[in-house]
Amino acid sequence: MTAFELSRDHEDFRRTVREFAEAEIAPHVAQWDKEHHFPTDVVQRMGELGLFGLTAPEEYGGAGLDPADGPFTSLCLAIEELGRVDQSLGVTLEAGVGLGINPILTYGTDAQKERWLPDLVAGRRLAGFGLTEPGAGSDAGATRTKAELDDGEWVVDGAKQFITNSGSAITSLVTVTARTGTSETGRPEISTIVVPAGTPGFVVEPAYDKLGWRISDTHPLTFTGCRVPAENLLGERGRGYAQFLATLDDGRVAIAALAVGLLQACVEQCVAYAGDRQTFGGPIGRKQGVAFQVADLEVMLHASRLLTYRAAAMKDAMGTPGGPSVRDFKHAASVAKLYATESAVTGTRIATQVFGGYGFMEEYPVARFYRDAKILEIGEGTSEVQRMLIARGLGLPVE
């Protein structure tokens, strides 16, 4: 497989996920969105399909794919196809793997992996990643949540916000970043700690009333004297910030894939509507004012897809002989995330315009697409952060 061409196996896998999304999600998504309903049963069926285990080894119930088979590319394809039908369930998978499974898989001890991964990989349970706070998001160094060692336990105090998969009926844990001391340079020492669901002092606050992604599970969290064993430290003490940055690199490509799914849906909806909607004795797609907008959508879709799967292929090839460097992958991830997500915001605006007044009505999916798109420019690193990272990658001394 090259960076620009999917393998036959990948295309077959794409069709499998699309069929699942069309059958299990599409008939219900409008009602779920209206009710802010998180369909636990469908998420677990996604697990039965193997979607949460695409990047995990067989010993924990995962697919055990060789890097040459493109496991990360497969995950991005699954996210794209889910996102084509519903962005909320697409991000449920993205966060469930990228923010839930991968930190434990990458940094966890054998005991932590054996305890948590089998259920997470199977999709029986979900995990969240508690990073963002009321005063700390992109500036993770401003973290105020604290964790202190006391008699062999971490005592966690603080608050997190906008945490995906953190309060569902099948959430098993949240990994949180916390200040665990001060480094030799005087900067806060940030570590990551696993907090199981139901731990005394860990409170999942009521779900947000969101503009978009209404089906996904998102909550603020509070921790008050929350005690967990010292062995719940994830990875090396004081390396939580570095772990968080590495986790976000993968997530940026996955969010780009989510944006690609949204653009694909916009193109399909606009082509169908512009071919059927009649004005002045013919379909509106005959008018250049409409046709050219749909053509622009198609260009944004193809460019976004190529950038996204180039970055995904680089991720799969990292660590192999002659593979890309971490620096090259990070740069490609930011480029894909920036372009694809901003294209999705523009694309959903175009789609809503093509539909005219009907695009403003919730009975048409483009209204939901429009609401769902904006968060893509914010989550997993804002557009501003991506521009900063891209400029730094070019050698510019941007702050």
Runs of H (alpha helix) within the chain: 8-20, 29-35, 40-48, 71-85, 87-95, 102-107, 110-121, 240-276, 288-317, 326-355, 365-373, 383-393
In terms of DSSP bridges, do strands 171-182 and 126-130 run parallel, antiparallel, or are they unpaired? parallel
Positive/negative CA dihedral, 26, 31, 37, 39:
negative
Q: Which of 85, 70, 65, 345 is nearest to 215 (CA)?
A: 85
Q: Which of 197, 241, 248, 189 is nearest to 221 (CA)?
A: 197
Which of 189, 380, 384, 399 does the annotation list as catalytic? 380
Give the whole-angstrom CA distance, residue 36 versus residue 340.
26
Displacement of CA 131 from its chain's centroid (Å): 14
Strand partners, 127: 173
268: annotated active-site residue = no
Q: Which of 20, 55, 60 is nearest to 247 (CA)?
A: 55
Displacement of CA 317 from its chain's centroid (Å): 21
Q: How many C-beta neighbours within 10 Å does residue 58 have?
A: 11
Strand partners, 195: 174
Cβ-Cβ contacts under 8 Å for 2 (sequence gap 6 or more): 313
The residues annotated with a catalytic role in the active site are 380
